Amino acid sequence: MDFWTIFSQVLVLFLLILVGYIAGKQQMITKHGAKEISTLVLYITLPALIIRAMQFDFSIELLGQSLKMIGMAIAVYAGTISLSYLFAKLLRAKGKEKDVFQTAMIFPNVGFMGYPITQGLYGTQGIFYTSLFNMPFDLLMWTVGVHMLSRSSDSSASKKKGLAALLNPGTIAVAIGFTLFILSIKLPPILDSTLLYLASATTPLAMLAVGSTLARTRVDAIFANKKLLLTAVIKVAVIPAIMIVLFTILKLDGYFLKIPIIITAMPVAANVAIFATRYESDELLASQLIFLTTLMSLVTIPLIALFLG
């Protein structure tokens, strides 16, 4: 896949955000409406996407590679979580600003961008390994992500702790999807088609919600915020660069080199803005980061993909 093909895939998401921005400016999507859309994505369409993403064939010979990729994903997330504390301290961020910056550094846009781009780059095998690498995402988003985004919030939804925090649509969907994967159970055609329709609504709905939230601020203010700009650069360039150096030293190659780096280089996950809205954090700042990192990724993702070969 060449630079322009990858560029066009990222541009589509950027244009969806623009549509949401216009809809927000015209009051077709209100602040209350954006929150309802976010809830719809979190509780219905995103779980459908998760379950369908795990509907791929499993074989014994791939078990070792599968476990290795899952292990790498856990290691990468542990690393980015650690780096998020370091970079947040360097940025001198506090309160909800710190909560959003840290969460944004950790969680990449896998479901909305990672799958189509890795499929375009590496075909069916790309989807297979991306699905495995993405397995810890939802568990961490609903635990670490919720903790970070709610720690400065008074939201009643943020008060769920312990086991109750794990019983959410995201982790339940992961459990269902992984069980179906391990047991090689394929969904009945009617159920599969239903989930397909729901899953396909996730990206446009999430991007529209992000865009409508952005409509409540001046876009030029985004580029005047130095902390926001630095966080965006850290997310799409600095962290992937650190990974490239580290993985090269470790002499990783093939999909175990390419998939983790490509996925980590994705813009901030739309889930961050959706969760920020749900848990009454700074959803505006989260939406600004998604907008800015998506804009930057129009250049950074194609360049990183070309570098990896």
Q: Is 10 inside a domain boundary?
A: no
Q: Is 6 inside a domain boundary?
A: no
Q: Residue 105 above 80 pLDDT?
A: yes
Kindly state the tokens that stand for 45: 């369409």
CB atoms within 10 A of CB 33: 16
Q: Residues 6 or more apart from 192 whose CB is under 8 A from it?
A: 52, 55, 186
Residue that is written with structure tokens 């009643």 in the block: 156
**Do 265 and 306 meet the contact criterion of CB atoms below 8 Å apart?**
no
Query: For 15-60, how does the pLDDT look when each residue is reduced to its tens digit (9 = 90+)?
Result: 988 999 999 999 999 988 988 998 898 889 988 988 888 887 777 7
CATH number for the domain spanning 39: value is 1.20.1530.20
Q: Is 129 inside a domain boundary?
A: yes
Q: Is 9 inside a domain boundary?
A: no
End-to-end CA distance of the chain: 10
**pLDDT at residue number 58:** 76
Number of domains in the chain: 1
Say if residue 200 is exposed, middle or buried (CB neighbours under 10 Å; 0-12, 13-18, 19+).
Answer: middle
Q: Residue 141 above 80 pLDDT?
A: yes
Kindly state the tokens that stand for 23: 């809809």
Q: Is 97 inside a domain boundary?
A: yes
Q: Is 155 inside a domain boundary?
A: yes
Q: Which residues pair with 268 in a beta bridge?
A: 108
Q: Is 136 inside a domain boundary?
A: yes
Q: Residue 150 above 70 pLDDT?
A: yes
pTM: 0.81
Supply the range of the domain harboring residue 291. Answer: 15-308
Q: Is 82 inside a domain boundary?
A: yes
